Structure 1
Amino acid sequence: MQIDQQSPEWYRARYNQLRDQALETENSVRAPAAPVEMKEEDVLHRETIPGGWYWSTFLPRGQALRLLNTSGNNGVSVALWNADDLSERYNAGDTIKLQWTTCLTTGRVLFSDMGRVLASVIADTCGFSDTLAGGSTPQSNMRNFGSSSLRNTRNNFRLTAGKYGMSQHDVTSCITFFSHISTQADGSFKWVEGDVNPGDYVDLRAEMNLLVAVSNCPHPFAPDADFTPGPVEAVRWQAPKPAADDLCRNFCEEARRGFDNTDILFA
């Protein structure tokens, strides 16, 4: 039976079956996973990113990047590219639909537009991120703060792209951590307050050689009255080799297939 020659009813039933399986997996009780600890001797580099500014780094496969939200900022945005082929980059749509969730926290992975795993979320003390609304823009800054000349994530990522020989067309979707966005019944977005605390952090483990850009600007739906983001800290460190029961590699069937597609590049 050819999967590309079925009726609309067949595809609908197949979709519903996969959705129900994913929801069952999502809601199932999991054995607690051992935390992946960052030891001081594993730290390779530390960088402070001032409020409104950006930073980029090459992150080889197996290393991790900790984003430490020292100021309790409402949003730190991240863009990812395959450092060996910059035409491959983070894809928000695939990341959501392949894992059947917008809750991209510990255990989840970030997919590229080639169906491979760019990075794994091995720790997330905040537990909330957004990859639907996108980063801040001059227009969102005008709406929120009354000025389009303030620094913003879209332009920060365009500046990053230019430094590495890319153009603005190479800047696509991003994920903004420390951002609790709720989708309303009419499809609009609403910020849920009270979930971001100073000292929260996210650890991203590189599953291929990455170019990572970080923009320290508020999420466009954040309730900030003024544009006053404080500094955040970026820490590049050597993560331990994933064990056989690694949470991210075994979280769901879709993730396992993504790792199969990725690992073959480094076999």
Structure 2
Amino acid sequence: MEEREPQPAYLASPGSVLNVDRSFYSSVASAPRVLKSSITIPPRSAKAVNVPAGCIFRFSTPSGPQVGDLNLWNAKNPHERFWASRTRQLQASHVTTFDRMWSCLPYLRPMATIIADSLQDFGVSKWGGRCHDLLGTRCDPYVNKMLTGDDYDFHCHSNLVRAILPFGLTEPDVHDVLNIFQVTGLNSSGKYFMEASPARPGDYIEFFAEQDLLVALSTCPGGDLSKWGWGEGATGANEENDKGGMLECCREIAVEVYEIEEGVRAEVLNGWKEPKRPDYKGMHGMMVPVGEGVMETRSEETA
């Protein structure tokens, strides 16, 4: 009897909150739109922008391959932020069109939905790598110092810290990321690996904002990762490694925020509402002073 691979732990069954309305998001992606704002993030830097609910935000690679590390927060309540690990469970280790970015507890609701991805047909590399990574997280100066002894202030973690300071957020608000345009996987030993980004000039990924968002993106100092080297004794992202050409692999990422044209907006967004939190009362059993059995006994005695 042929063995079947285990089924996913979280299934997008009919009627499930995980089963998105693809026709709706396809109509959003194809609707006429108006550019609200546009910025370019230079190599080895980061910027943050506000994106109102119901708008579209787009990241593209004008000059060629470049990895970007993405953070999301609710613009009105930064305690609600992107939860990479739960998104990995509910969606996949690597995301593409119609996948959603989920927020942390106690909110647990979609923050954004991917509506277009020029790399969605990338598939699987010969090593098993896939694009738009949720397996790894941002590079940071702490692990770099630990592994190499070097100080470097332009890792994605540091870039994101600087980008959100004008918005009243601080370093502890930076969290695990979605690595856009990045190909990663696990090797036969279960070790995390990275491959060179497949993005070409003009490639893009687009998101629909399900709530008012603060969006921050870092252009990774590893650039397109074609020359990345990091580990015990490696130089990582610093001047020494740049002599090997790593800086030449770093490029800008363009960020655009769009609004659906006013004349069709009501029709396109008809029926859409900002997602709600799960209807859990949130007491975690704290109304029970000792334990469930004790509470049941006391209830019987007072009946």
TM exceeding 0.5 = yes
| C-alpha displacement of 1:34 | 4.1
In structure 2, the CA distance between the partners of 1:69 and 1:22, relative to structure 1 (3 Å rule), is same
Q: 2:37 aligns with which of 10, 21, 45?
A: 45
TM-aligned CA deviation for residue 165 of structure 1: 2.1
CA contact (8 A) 2:197 2:224 kept: no
Which digits, 9 at most, give the CA deviation of each residue in 1:49-107, with x for residues without a partner?
111111111100011111111122331111100011111100001111123x1121111
Inter-partner Cα distance in structure 2 for 1:140 and 1:69: 28
Query: Are the aligned partners of 1:190 and 1:221 in contact in 2 as well (CA < 8 Å)?
Result: no
Residue 103 of structure 2 corresponds to residue 112 of structure 1: yes
Map 1:60-139; keep pairs closer than 5 Å.
60-99=52-91, 101-113=92-104, 114-127=107-120, 128-138=131-141
Contact 2:46 2:162 in 1 (8 A): no
Q: 2:64 corresponds to which letter in structure 1? A: G
Alignment counterpart, residue 153 of structure 1, candidates 133, 152, 156: 156
Q: Does 1:231 align with 2:234?
A: no
Whether 1:202 and 2:192 are equivalent positions in the alignment is no
Quote the residue 2:9 is aligned against.
19
C-alpha contact 2:94 2:135 (8 A) present in aligned 1: no
Change beyond 3 A, Cα 1:59–1:68: same
Aligned partner letter, 1:207? E
Assess, with a 3 A threshold, how the Cα gap between structure 1 residues 150 and 166 changes in structure 2: closer, same or farther: closer
Q: 1:189 Cα deviation (Å)?
A: 1.7
Instruction: Out of 219-228 and 116-125, give the one that drifted further.
Output: 219-228
Residue 30 of structure 2 aligns to a residue whose secondary structure is coil
**Residue aligned with 1:19, SS:** coil
3-state SS of the aligned residue for 2:163? helix
- Which one is further off, 214-223 or 113-122? 214-223
Q: How many residues align?
A: 231
Query: For residues 214 and 62 of structure 2, what CA distance do their matches in structure 1 show?
Result: 23
Distance 1:196 1:140 in 2: 27
How much is the aligned-residue C-alpha RMSD, in angstroms?
A: 3.6
Please give the alpha-carbon distance, in whole angstroms, between the structure 2 residues aligned to 1:145 and 1:69. Answer: 30
Query: C-alpha distance in 1, partners of 2:251/2:75?
Result: 29
| CA distance in 1 between partners of 2:224 and 2:187 (Å) | 13
Report the Cα distance in structure 2 between the residues aligned to 1:144 and 1:74, rounded to whole angstroms. 24
Tell me the distance in 1 between the aligned counterparts of 2:257 and 2:148: 32
Matching residue's letter, 1:126? L
Structure 1 segments unaligned to the other structure (5+ residues) = 1-15, 250-257, 263-267
Structure 1 residues 42 and 147: alpha-carbon distance in aligned structure 2, compared to 1, 3 A threshold: farther
Change (3 A) 1:17 1:137: closer
Contact 1:43 1:236 in 2 (8 A): yes
- Per-residue deviation, 1:137: 2.2
Shift of residue 150, structure 1, vs aligned partner: 5.4
Partner Cα separation in structure 2 for residue 234 and residue 179 of structure 1: 17
Instruction: Tell which deviates more after alignment, 123-132 or 134-143.
Output: 134-143
The answer on 1:213 being equivalent to 2:210 is no
Letter in 1 for 2:39: E
- Give the share of equivalent positions with the same residue, in percent: 23
State TM-score, norm by structure 1. 0.73
Distance 2:146 2:119 in 1: 27
What's the secondary structure of 2:200's corresponding residue?
A: coil
Distance 1:214 1:236, change over 3 A: same
**Structure 2 CA distance for partners of 1:203 and 1:19, relative to 1, 3 Å:** same
Q: Deviations over 1:94-130 (max 9, x none)?
A: 111123x112111100000021111111111123211
